[in-house]
Chains A and B, each alone.
Chain A
Amino acid sequence: MQLTFNKDSKAPGATALEDISSLVDLRCGQAAVLESLEVESDLGRRLMELGFFPGGDVVAAGCAPGGDPRVYRVDGSEIALRTETARFLKIRTSSIRTITPPKSTSSRS
């Protein structure tokens, strides 16, 4: 079962296709607005319970030596995900911004 949780009721086609990328494309210290979670509904639920909400901020905080899994900062906590999962968490490319590392990076919603 595949479910898509969209940020708003807007049809998925409303955003230009090339504007969509995934969390994997975030480099360390970059933040972006989460657009949708294109994962199985059970997992989507758990990810939301951990703070991955469409419309919320996600910061790429780092990764394990070797590059996988990656660590994301969402909603006040740090969550590790494998690349194979992060790939299905979509962001809008235009929302990517760089956060200066030592500064406060807490994402208030």
Chain B
Amino acid sequence: MSAGDSCHNLAEPSSTIGLDPSVRSLRHYVALVGPPNAGKTTLFNRLTGLRQKVANFPGVTVEHHVGKARTTAGREVFLIDLPGIYSMEPRSEDEEVTRDVLTGAKPGIGQPDAVILILDATNLHRHLLLAAPILSLGLPTLVVLNMADDLAKRGGSIDPAALAAQLGCPVALISAATGQGVDKVQQFLEGSSARPPATAKRVELPILQDLPGCRRWAGQVGSDSGYSAPAPPIWTRRLDSVFLHPQLGPFVFLLVVISVFQAIFSGAQPLMDGVESWITLSGNWLGAALPEGVIRSLLIEGIWAGVGSVLVFLPQILMLFLFIGILEDSGYLARAALIADRTMSLVGLQGKAFIPLLSAYACAVPAILSTRTIENKRDRLATILIAPFMTCSARLAPYLLLIGTFVQDRPLLGPFLHTQTAAMLGLYLLGFLAAIATAQLLRSTVLRRQQSVFVLELPPYRMPNLRSLGLRLYDRAFVFLKNAGTVILLVSACLWVLAHVPYKDGQPAKLEDSVAGQIGHAIEPAIKPLGFNWKIGVGLITSLAAREVIVGTLGTIYGIENADKDDVNLQQALRKDLTPAGAGALLVFFAFAMQCFSTIAVVRRETGGWFWPSVQFVYMSVFAYLSAWGTFVLLSR
């Protein structure tokens, strides 16, 4: 997947290492195994220096990722980060990945050479349940007790040496988040303690099929190692009594969402103005420095106008990601899924499907991957099919542009809710409702309801880690800038060329008669009923690659059109070309259309064929077209 949108890069980590079977025998692979949310990825990132996604809810990692770690003594080890499991008996596809890697069934990797079993030290008894099946694999194993900081803070304790004697393998008490004790993991990777210490007797493991027996064993092992459980997380209880309160809970949620959107509009405005004036200034400077001619026109009216008009939205997109990051890292997301379960069950889905849907507000691609945690196959497919309706961050730029241009900003509920914010919220709601309606449709036709069970573990709330939040925003900004510097730049440049050829008598064609103009005019009959003219049509074509490209395209077209005038901005130009009804139709079209190559590619991969992505594309396109048409007709009366 190399098509450029601003979001898919998280899902396809270019930084992790491909698995080449020919070098497998030369490499030392160590798998990171553990129950969900135990901190596997946190440790993986710390050891490899990579930035895989960490968040505070179970089921964040859904694929195996390989990364290279170098121990302090210089040994090279390949770490495999895995999805969390509760046992070696998978119930969902992400758990299958882990089982396959551990048993050596995954092609290209083979069985790992050693295992690091990561358990949450604040919940040791239950997490020790997993020790029995993992130890019985017979691989050299290090047991890591993570969250040492949390354990100490809440007054619990454990004697790692005693536990090591009980389990017959080395045990390290660490905090992956702070780095405390990680040197012991380094030592293990070094190979010094890859084998059980010679003194350890062979330990008796319980019969794996007998779960109550395993639990008794875990309890015994725990208490024999002097484990004293920590006090319950008081803050989690206090916060939950607000967030899950029958009336207060939903109210607080609404309050937070509204203020975030208000912040995106008004709070980001100074930043946006800053970016905008910087772009204008640099454009003017460039214009003054270059001699009049083709090159200058290409750079200023083509590329600068195209790329610049997208760059303006960077601050707002980052604010959205900051908000999503806080939701995910704090642990609130699992509560949101709990609250949403009621609504989701009305359309035959379960609350767990809400987690991918919420992360689809950032981008549909990782969201579709994370549906792997949904156990029921039909639930999973239905969630994949509705996820692209959720308002992803790529829609933000066209939404902001059109709303900023066509909606008068007036206070609606005092200073708290403005009309523009309300319009934005309305569009988010619209996407969600379309998703729900589609789910209902699927459930009553092709994907008839199956018994599905909702079981969700609620993690304790944690303070979002500022460093990792900052790094995530940084990565996000980088992806956005890279996308602007590649895809949008390329599209703008091509468009500029297409808008100037064919040359007649040594003069470029007029915009209307250029190739771009002709293409636009060719599809104009199809989009005229929606209130769009040929320029919007060109934007619709280029935005098939990724939604925000339309903003760049319009920037370029109007840049060329108004090359001789000074200071005509995109908004003013748009107002001349679109009626408010047409703008409404365009917004609705963007809310529903599946304009994203990366999403199509990932749906193909996850559903194993072209059937579902084709159905989805056709369905969403028709849905978008008809709704846009309806909107235009309604609004222009």
Could you tell me which A residues sit within 8 Å of B by CB distance?
5, 42-43, 45-51, 53-56, 61-66, 68-69, 71, 75-82, 85, 104-106, 108-109
**Which residues of B sit under 8 angstroms from A54, Cβ to Cβ?**
212
Complex Cα distance A46/B123, Å?
17
Query: Which A-B residue pairs are the 3 nearest by beta carbons?
Result: A49-B86, A78-B458, A76-B123
Q: What is the chain A residue whose CB lies nearest that of B345? A: A82
> Chain B nearest CB: distance from A4 CB in Å?
13
Given that A49-B129, A50-B455, A79-B457 are known contacts, is A69 also in contact with B338, CB under 8 Å in the complex? yes
> Chain A nearest CB: distance from B335 CB in Å?
8
Q: Is B125 part of the binding interface, using a Cβ–Cβ cutoff of 8 Å?
A: yes
Q: What is the chain A residue whose CB lies nearest that of B232? A: A106
CB contacts under 8 Å to A, within B335-349, are 338-339, 341-342, 345
**Is there contact, CB below 8 Å, between A65 and B458?**
no
**Which residues of A sit under 8 angstroms from B245, Cβ to Cβ?**
65
- Point out the residue from A56, A64, A80, A109 that lies within 8 Å of B455, measured CB to CB: A80
**Is there contact, CB below 8 Å, between B456 and A79?**
yes
- Point out the residue from B211, B212, B247 that lies within 8 Å of A65, measured CB to CB: B247
- Point out the residue from B129, B345, B454, B457 that lies within 8 Å of A78, measured CB to CB: B457
> Chain B nearest CB: distance from A25 CB in Å?
19
**Which residues of A sit under 8 angstroms from B123, Cβ to Cβ?**
75-77
- Point out the residue from A50, A51, A69 that lies within 8 Å of B341, measured CB to CB: A69
B interface residues, tally (CB under 8 Å): 37
Given that A64-B339, A69-B341 are known contacts, is A51 also in contact with B126, CB under 8 Å in the complex? yes
Complex Cα distance A61/B233, Å?
13
Given that A47-B455, A49-B87, A64-B244 are known contacts, is A108 also in contact with B212, CB under 8 Å in the complex? no
**Is there contact, CB below 8 Å, between B229 and A80?**
no
**Which residues of B sit under 8 angstroms from A106, Cβ to Cβ?**
229, 231-232
CB contacts under 8 Å to A, within B103-134, are 122-123, 125-126, 129
Complex Cα distance A80/B125, Å?
19
Complex Cα distance A80/B341, Å?
10
Complex Cα distance A87/B453, Å?
13
Supply 18 A–B pairs (Cβ within 8 Å), ascending by A: A5-B212, A45-B211, A46-B455, A47-B455, A49-B86, A49-B87, A50-B86, A50-B455, A53-B212, A65-B247, A68-B341, A69-B341, A69-B456, A71-B240, A71-B338, A79-B455, A82-B350, A109-B125
Complex Cα distance A87/B91, Å?
22
Q: Is B415 part of the binding interface, using a Cβ–Cβ cutoff of 8 Å?
A: no
Complex Cα distance A55/B213, Å?
12
Q: What is the chain A residue whose CB lies nearest that of B351? A: A69
Given that A49-B129, A64-B339, A65-B250 are known contacts, is A71 also in contact with B86, CB under 8 Å in the complex? no
Q: Is B414 part of the binding interface, using a Cβ–Cβ cutoff of 8 Å?
A: no
**Which residues of B sit under 8 angstroms from A66, Cβ to Cβ?**
246, 342
**Is there contact, CB below 8 Å, between A71 and B212?**
no
- Point out the residue from B87, B229, B244, B454 that lies within 8 Å of A81, measured CB to CB: B454
**Is there contact, CB below 8 Å, between B342 and A68?**
yes
> Chain B nearest CB: distance from A12 CB in Å?
16
**Is there contact, CB below 8 Å, between B454 and A85?**
yes
**Is there contact, CB below 8 Å, between B246 and A65?**
yes
Given that A53-B212, A78-B458, A79-B458 are known contacts, is A62 also in contact with B240, CB under 8 Å in the complex? yes
**Is there contact, CB below 8 Å, between A71 and B457?**
no
Q: What is the chain B residue whose CB lies nearest that of A52? A: B455
**Is there contact, CB below 8 Å, between B339 and A49?**
no
**Is there contact, CB below 8 Å, between A42 and B231?**
no
Q: Is B89 part of the binding interface, using a Cβ–Cβ cutoff of 8 Å?
A: yes
**Is there contact, CB below 8 Å, between A105 and B250?**
no
**Is there contact, CB below 8 Å, between B86 and A64?**
no
> Chain A nearest CB: distance from B627 CB in Å?
31
Q: What is the chain B residue whose CB lies nearest that of A43? A: B453
Q: Is B70 part of the binding interface, using a Cβ–Cβ cutoff of 8 Å?
A: no
Given that A64-B341, A65-B246 are known contacts, is A50 also in contact with B91, CB under 8 Å in the complex? no
**Which residues of B sit under 8 angstroms from A43, Cβ to Cβ?**
453, 455
- Point out the residue from A55, A76, A77 that lies within 8 Å of B212, measured CB to CB: A55
**Is there contact, CB below 8 Å, between A62 and B244?**
yes
**Is there contact, CB below 8 Å, between B458 and A80?**
yes
Complex Cα distance A54/B213, Å?
11
CB contacts under 8 Å to A, within B238-285, are 240-241, 244-247, 249-250
**Is there contact, CB below 8 Å, between B457 and A104?**
no
- Point out the residue from A5, A63, A76, A85 that lies within 8 Å of B126, measured CB to CB: A76
Q: Is B219 part of the binding interface, using a Cβ–Cβ cutoff of 8 Å?
A: yes
- Point out the residue from A45, A71, A76 that lies within 8 Å of B229, measured CB to CB: A76
Q: Is B215 part of the binding interface, using a Cβ–Cβ cutoff of 8 Å?
A: yes
Complex Cα distance A71/B454, Å?
12
Q: What is the chain A residue whose CB lies nearest that of B350? A: A82
- Point out the residue from A53, A56, A80, A109 that lies within 8 Å of B338, measured CB to CB: A80
Q: What is the chain A residue whose CB lies nearest that of B230? A: A106
Complex Cα distance A5/B215, Å?
14
**Is there contact, CB below 8 Å, between A53 and B215?**
yes
**Is there contact, CB below 8 Å, between B91 and A42?**
yes
Complex Cα distance A77/B86, Å?
13
Excluding A55-B212, A82-B453, 10 further A-B contacts by CB distance (< 8 Å) are: A47-B455, A48-B212, A49-B86, A49-B211, A64-B244, A64-B342, A65-B244, A65-B250, A69-B341, A109-B125
